[in-house]
Structure 1
Amino acid sequence: MNINKLILILALSSATPALAQQLPSEILNLNNWKLNVPEGIKPPGRSDEYKQPELHTYQHPQWFHTNASGDAVVFRANTGGTTTSGSGYPRSELREMKEDGKKNASWSSSIGTHTLFIDQRITHLPLKKPHMVVGQIHDDLDDVIVFRLEKNKLFVKMGNEKGPVLEENYQLGTRFTVSFKVKQDQTDCYYNGQLRFSYPKAFRNAYFKAGAYVQSSCQGKRKVIGESCDAYGEVEIYRVSLKHE
């Protein structure tokens, strides 16, 4: 084999992690989710979307794959990635669906009880603007409430309003759980199993999201000066579950 070709193959193999034998769908229940990744192959220039049944067998060596120990799923979004039409920031993120992934989920804060639980650890942040959302409730207009990490501060955020700090000095790689529980127009926020905040707000046409949604970009209207397009945010999710009662 030509020596230059061999060097190229070795370089590519070291830059891109090998896909695991185990699929993400074998770790997480993805039946009622769809996935957006920061790659624009399907519609060029826009975030690719994977729905069921395609999501059941989907994995990607960068954006969405099983971790090395085989007990969690890695979600990665780079700041140079493509975005969804409603955002200037890239994401590798699940969006809640219903009827085994056939239709978009849409529920009201005033009817029933709606719960999202995530067991995860944040492993990497962009360098210049180290901000990332790792769980959210969205309505038909915008995000309602999110769990967000800014450098070391893990907190709850509602639109432009900052809520309580959950962890003042979060260390990357630390595993934790968060949960939203919505009932009677109130959202209860749990951190490591403890109720930390209740947010009174009515909303409708709502759905949950989970994964890595970086809040930095190297390009476009959200460009952060000095941010490399290879910078990225990453989270490993051990478990994510939905409940509607």
Structure 2
Amino acid sequence: MNLNHKRRLTTTVLAAAMVMAAPLAGASTAGAASPVYTAAADCSYPAQKLDLTNWKVTLPTGSSSSPTEIKQPSLATFSVNPWFMVNSACTGVQFRAAVNGVTTSGSGYPRSELREMTSNGTSNASWSATSGTHTMVFREAFNSLPDVKSHLVGAQIHDADDDVTVFRLEGTSLYITKGDDTHYKLVTSDYKLNTVYEGKFVVSGGKIKVYYNGVLQTTITHTASGNYFKAGAYTQANCTNSSPCSSSNYGQVSIYKLAVTHS
């Protein structure tokens, strides 16, 4: 068994426990009181765990080149097991995309992924990298990688044409990408599945600053418009390069915090 891409969770309890018990990598715990997390009373829908007012979700279900897409107001009370749901511990949202899932017309890979919206989720977000400041902060863990091609994207900035920069896990190596350069910045070569980390994108003045656990990793020049944030599980494998070709072979990400601001 290849440990780089066959460490599946039998439940989501482990990831939840790590959120409640483990500090972020590099964080000091000296003299600090143990954190206390309280689960929400009602954990039926992802929108009860994350503020999804200005998001829509694309799922790996539906018909050929036409995946299921859920927008507001339906998103506020939507959940589907196992693709998009609150985890069993009620601490975060599980995103799963199997290699045999339905893909969009512009990609050969399946996704269970949020796309940034505006106006209470009714319009696509589209902002300029040279005007204002645009920030996304997220806490997430990669839970499972597809077999053979063990690649998975957990968060990204996309412009009008293509992805600009993403957090991409390949086996145990976590990268920040730049355009087509998928290995632009190695964050760690020893990422362990279910490890919660905090990522942040800050876009201002034609520059993208990318942080990992509060530490600046790289600054990328980007001046295009038509930008928007995305977060979830964007599996970088399909039935042509990963087997078995079934719903049991998937990428999965759990998100515990997601916040976007524009100023």
TM over 0.5: yes
Q: CA deviation at 1:160?
A: 1.7
Give the one of 89, 102, 109 matched to 2:109.
89
Does the Cα contact within 8 Å between 1:90 and 1:214 map onto a contact in 2? yes
Query: The residue matched to 1:157 in structure 2 has which SS?
Result: strand
Number of aligned positions between the proteins = 223
What one-letter code is carried by the residue in structure 2 that aligns with 1:34? K
Query: The residue matched to 2:61 in structure 1 has which SS?
Result: coil
Residue 136 of structure 1 is matched in structure 2 by: 156
Runs of 4+ in 1 over 4 A off after TM superposition: none
Q: Is 1:204 equivalent to 2:221 in the alignment? A: no
Q: CA deviation at 1:34?
A: 0.3
Cα deviation, 1:21-50, whole Å, max 9, x if unaligned, reads 53111100000000000000xx56521100
Whole-angstrom CA distance in 2 between matches of 1:39 and 1:206: 25
Give the one of 46, 51, 58 matched to 1:24.
46
Does the Cα contact within 8 Å between 1:214 and 1:233 map onto a contact in 2? yes
Whole-angstrom CA distance in 1 between matches of 2:246 and 2:220: 36
What one-letter code is carried by the residue in structure 1 that aligns with 2:106? G
Does the Cα contact within 8 Å between 2:147 and 2:242 map onto a contact in 1? no
Q: Is 1:58 equivalent to 2:75 in the alignment? A: no
Give the one of 198, 203, 214 matched to 1:193.
214
Does the Cα contact within 8 Å between 1:128 and 1:227 map onto a contact in 2? no
Q: TM-score, normalised by structure 1?
A: 0.87
Give the one of 128, 131, 143 matched to 1:123.
143
Residue 192 of structure 2 is matched in structure 1 by: 171
Q: CA deviation at 1:142?
A: 0.6
Give the one of 44, 58, 61 matched to 1:36.
58
Whole-angstrom CA distance in 2 between matches of 1:53 and 1:156: 33
Q: TM-score, normalised by structure 2?
A: 0.81
Cα deviation, 1:49-107, whole Å, max 9, x if unaligned, reads 00000000000111001111101000000000001111110000000000110100000
Cα-Cα RMSD: 1.8
Give the one of 230, 236, 255 matched to 1:215.
236
Residue 257 of structure 2 is matched in structure 1 by: 239
Does the Cα contact within 8 Å between 1:217 and 1:229 map onto a contact in 2? no
Whole-angstrom CA distance in 1 between matches of 2:121 and 2:84: 18
Query: The residue matched to 2:209 in structure 1 has which SS?
Result: strand
Does the Cα contact within 8 Å between 1:129 and 1:227 map onto a contact in 2? no
The percent identity for this pair of structures is: 41
Does the Cα contact within 8 Å between 2:102 and 2:110 map onto a contact in 1? yes
Structure 2 CA distance for partners of 1:85 and 1:44, relative to 1, 3 Å: closer
Structure 2 CA distance for partners of 1:99 and 1:229, relative to 1, 3 Å: same
Query: The residue matched to 2:47 in structure 1 has which SS?
Result: helix
Residue 101 of structure 1 is matched in structure 2 by: 121
Does the Cα contact within 8 Å between 1:24 and 1:66 map onto a contact in 2? yes
What one-letter code is carried by the residue in structure 2 that aligns with 1:100? N
Give the one of 139, 150, 157 matched to 2:170.
150
Q: CA deviation at 1:225?
A: 5.4
Whole-angstrom CA distance in 1 between matches of 2:229 and 2:198: 15
Q: CA deviation at 1:229?
A: 2.6
Q: CA deviation at 1:228?
A: 2.7
Whole-angstrom CA distance in 2 between matches of 1:85 and 1:24: 26
Query: The residue matched to 1:127 in structure 2 has which SS?
Result: coil
Structure 2 CA distance for partners of 1:97 and 1:170, relative to 1, 3 Å: same
Structure 1 unaligned spans of 5+: 1-14
